[in-house]
Amino acid sequence: MKPPHEQLWSRREFLGTVAGAAAITTLPGALHADISKPTRRPNVLFIMSDDMRVELGCYGSHFGAQTPHLDALAQAGVRFERNYCQFALCNPSRASMLTGRRPTRTSVLGNRTDFRTAHPDWTTLPQLFQENGYVCVRAGKIYHGGLDDAKSWSVTADSGGPTDDGSGPAVGKTKAVPRETIARKPGEGLAPLPADTSRAAYSDRIVVLEGDGEAHGDYHTADRTIEHLRKYKDQPFFIACGFVKPHSPPTAPQRFFDLYDVDKIKLPPDFAAWPTVPPGFPSAAIRKRNADLFIGRGASEAEAKEVIRAYLASISWTDWNLGRVVAELDRLGLRENTIIVFVADHGYHLGEKGKWSKAGSLFEMGTRVPLIMAAPGMKGNGASCPRIVESLDIYPTLMELCGLPQQNEIEGTSLAPLLKQPAAKWDKPGFTVWSEDGKTLHGVAVRTEKWRYAEFGPDGINGAMLFDPRADPLEMHNLANDPKHAAVCAELSALTRHYAHPA
């Protein structure tokens, strides 16, 4: 038997092979052959959600989330069952996805770093479309709030403006005025917004909107996207639509709360009032303090159920807003020449291991995110893809589907082969990293078809986790210290170290 380092499947070799194959198949207008009546290069409608874990009807939601519009989109395209973000935090995840580089290359490991400072010459995904004759506009949150990238968007009256984030006050800002009109604490009736708009006070609010939520930024984001579709329908477009829900505070009009019975919500089996390190887990795996909800206080079971219900309501309202946008695309007759992408920036914990956030998570709940790609004429449309893919793969996929010039420096792999044949062989791991200080890596995780592995600290000195996703989908049993799994841990450890410090 070969020593672990020689058994290590070489990511670089694999990517080299795939890149070679892609170079052969990536011809300008590659998608056109699949579209029955092509009129021009395909458009892109790029829709994002914020802090949305894989909790959708079409993914088999544990809590029974109702998402009819996303379910229909999944039916029209390919639903990626196992897609992983590269960092479970807004800015690093989005910077990676939109530049086509891993966080270890962007050096964006926190929410305050602008990738442009270190990389003024990189070509982002929307920028690439813009340079190839597309109009590129956004509504809402695509890059992280306050760090929008001017080079990404066409110079039009619609390209700039506020991020429309509507997600509540930013940390450290005193003038922030939440757009929501009515808020209540979990377990309370309706109450006015708190005078104290600090993040800790605000994030514990469940927000009930009046009407259809017309006063909220996400409603406006859908409206602005609809306006963009109408305005730019006669030219090739890359239109981005970024919702900020279900990011805390969970927010929706009342009728979306009414979809869910709080008494029927079953808490996760490892629910805990506070962030809790289970026996046999490294303490580095669980942050001591929650970052989004229940900050600095424990969660009672009754409150937890109310917040989960509100999160579900927030997902269903996001789904409703997305439905308005897609309906307009259809009404304008643009569907047959438009690729629709739906993705979230990262996952979320709803009380699992006492966590109410994504922060610090190298678990499935924090790193796995919904990804649906509906490209006209793809043979895989209507199916789900079981392969391990990464949000990083979106850039090269759209580049190939739209016949744009190959960008040699980007990472990730085009998913076009999986859009045609979702069960095709695809032995490619997904990587996610975390940093506590925004500068150094706290931990590196890898997801393969068979395992989830993560290790913490330089050379894993702060411990490791190994889970068997088929036998233990909720990641209750850490196998990393079981001598029976020493060989697989050594192999996966080598993979994470190679990832963190490529030769």
Residues that bind Ca ion (CB under 5 A): 50-51, 90, 345
Residue 438, Cβ neighbours under 10 Å: how many?
A: 15
CB of 142 to Ca ion, least distance (A): 12
Identify the burial level of 178 via C-beta atoms within 10 angstroms of its C-beta, where 0-12 means exposed, 13-18 middle and 19 or more buried. Answer: buried
| 51/393 with CB nearer Ca ion | 51
Given the complex with Ca ion, which of 347 and 422 has the nearer CB atom? 347
CA–CA separation, 296 and 293 (whole Å) = 9
Q: Which of 343, 400, 390, 393 is nearest to 42 (CA)?
A: 400
50 vs 364, beta carbon nearer Ca ion? 50
Nearest to 438 by CA among 38, 115, 84: 115
What is the rounded CA–CA span in Å between residue 21 and residue 385?
20
Q: Are 240 and 48 in contact (CB under 8 A)?
A: yes
Q: Which amino acid is at 259?
A: L
Residue type, 386: P
Q: Report which residue type is found at 340.
A: I
**Residue keyed to tokens 């005025």:** 177
Which residue's CB is nearer to Ca ion, number 55 or number 345? 345
Minimum separation from the CB atom of position 433 to Ca ion (A): 16
Q: Which two tokens stand for residue 267?
A: 């808490």
Helix (H) or strand (E) holding 338: strand 338-344
Q: Identify which of residues 295 and 402 has a Cβ nearer to Ca ion in the complex.
A: 295
* CA 66 distance to own-chain centroid: 19
Which is nearer to Ca ion, 249 or 282 (by Cβ)?
249
- The smaller minimum CB distance to Ca ion, of residues 167 and 381, is found at 167
345 versus 364: smaller Cβ distance to Ca ion: 345
For residue 11, the minimal CB distance to Ca ion (Å) is 27
CB of 358 to Ca ion, least distance (A): 7
Q: Residue 498 carries which DSSP code?
A: H
Residue closest to Ca ion, measured at CB: 90
Give the start-end residues of each E strand in 345-437: 371-374, 384-390, 430-434
CA dist 67 and 54 (Å) reads 12
Smallest gap from residue 51 Cβ to Ca ion (A): 4
Residue found by looking up tokens 């800790």 in the block: 200
Shortest Cβ 52–Ca ion spacing (Å): 8
Q: How far is the CB of 315 from Ca ion (least distance, A)?
A: 14
For residues 465 and 444, the answer to whether their CB atoms sit within 8 Å is: no
Residue 318: both structure tokens together: 């996001």
Q: Considering the complex, state which of residue 222 and residue 369 has its C-beta at the smaller distance from Ca ion.
A: 369
| Structural contact between residues 45 and 376, judged by C-beta atoms closer than 8 angstroms | no
CB of 294 to Ca ion, least distance (A): 17
Q: Minimum CB separation from Ca ion for residue 137, in Å?
A: 21
Element (H, E) at 237: strand 237-246
